[in-house]
Structure 1
Amino acid sequence: MATVPGGRNSISPPAASRKTLCVNIIMNLQEKLAGYVLGNLTSRSFPEIAITAINQGHDTESLWILVGMSNKDNSHDYIRYFELSLQELGITLPDKLKSAKILLSYYLGQMISLPERAFELMYLIDNEIYEQVDWMQELRLSEKKYVGKELGIEKMFTWYRELQDYEDNGMLLYYNELPRKKQKEKFEQELVEEAKELKSKIDKELSTHNNV
């Protein structure tokens, strides 16, 4: 199981929540490319990525070839036409850290819009960003406990852990003067407030980087 800062194990979201949440997950081209860089999408997702690019107004021969490809096609052809489409569009894939920030911004935005989904969205941040990459090696960190701080999600894990313990019927550490259900609501509120602050910071970083 995945480990979060502080040493507590992560848990899966409630049954079927991942499937339900997918209804609300509509990523743009930049976000899907970031997901690919982090390993959340494979080459078999290239037709889906190509459709997203076309829907955003891009139009190249390689994109249309990708759209028409199926599982019967050779994986080398997937990669070939994907790379050609990036060249035709003048797109360079972001590095892993920038990809993490792009996906973080997306999921944080979803969390702000859907506060009742805060726990499930934090689960995705945990598994698709925090645990998806060997950040110790990528960022040359001495201990994994520093990863959350580097990614800016350290404070969010405090409330994520509380929501995990709520789902597990475990002991809660904060807002114990409130009824248990109200505690959950406060944890979600705290998580959303952290999301607002972090998204603002990340969006400024990404904007500055894109303007350089």
Structure 2
Amino acid sequence: MEDRIFIAKYVVGKLNTEDLVQFADQKLTDGVYSEHLLNIMDDGPEHWNPVSEYFESFVEEKGYAVPSFEQAVWVLLRYHILLISQGNVSPSKQFRQLLDDIESFDLHKGIKKYVGDNIGIENMYGWYHSDCSTIEETDSGIFNESLDWVEKFKNEH
């Protein structure tokens, strides 16, 4: 998984200490050396506070910024919706993964009319929750809406 996606999942609370330990182990296996990664491995998955602090220190050491919660949500939105728009994944399954990844984001806060319109996913959300569409129609609807979303938000966030 790309580092910035992993970092975004960390920020939105989708990772646990075991995920961070696996990340550190993989980086070390790949030849990336950092005292912070070694510290993560030494502390292990039993201690969230030091492991998360070492992880954030590693991220900063490598020149990545730890995004805000809102920025992380947009990173994950862009990641999942781009995957859908490329046509190589099941749109409904990928959209479900998107919703899982941003479950701590309030899809109702600040909406104008429909659930998810605060981040531009209201139509995909509607297709996903449609009771009167076949899976093929749902997938087609989500796919087409993903193309619109990518075009609409190409210069944002």
Same fold, TM-score > 0.5, yes or no:
yes
List runs of 5+ in structure 1 lacking aligned partners.
Answer: 1-26, 166-171, 175-182, 207-212
Q: 1:154 to 1:52 in 2, by over 3 A?
A: farther
Q: What is the CA–CA distance in structure 1 between the aligned matches of 2:87 and 2:24, rounded to whole Å?
A: 28
For 1:40-189, list aligned pairs within 5 A.
Answer: 40-51=14-25, 59-67=33-41, 70-71=44-45, 73-113=46-86, 117-129=90-102, 131-134=103-106, 141=110, 148-162=116-130, 165=131, 172=132, 183-189=134-140
Aligned-pair CA distance for 1:87: 3.2
Q: In structure 2, what is the Cα distance between the partners aligned to 1:202 and 1:67?
A: 39
Gaps of 5+ in 2: none
How big is the shift at 1:194?
0.9
Larger Rg: 1
Q: TM-score, normalised by structure 2?
A: 0.77
Q: What amino acid does structure 2 have at the position aligned with 1:132?
A: S
Counterparts of 1:159 and 1:135, CA distance in 2: 15
Fraction of identical pairs, as percent: 24
The answer as to whether partners of 1:47 and 1:68 remain within 8 angstroms in 2 is no
Q: Is the 8 A contact 1:33 1:49 kept in 2?
A: no
TM-score, normalization: structure 1? 0.60
How many residues in Structure 1 have an aligned counterpart in Structure 2?
157
Q: CA RMSD in A?
A: 3.0
Shift of 1:65: 3.6
Match of 1:199 in 2: 150
- 2:100 partner letter: N
Which aligned runs of 4 or more in structure 1 are off by greater than 4 angstroms? 51-58, 113-116, 143-147
> Alpha-carbon deviation of 1:41?
1.0
Equivalent position SS for 1:204: coil
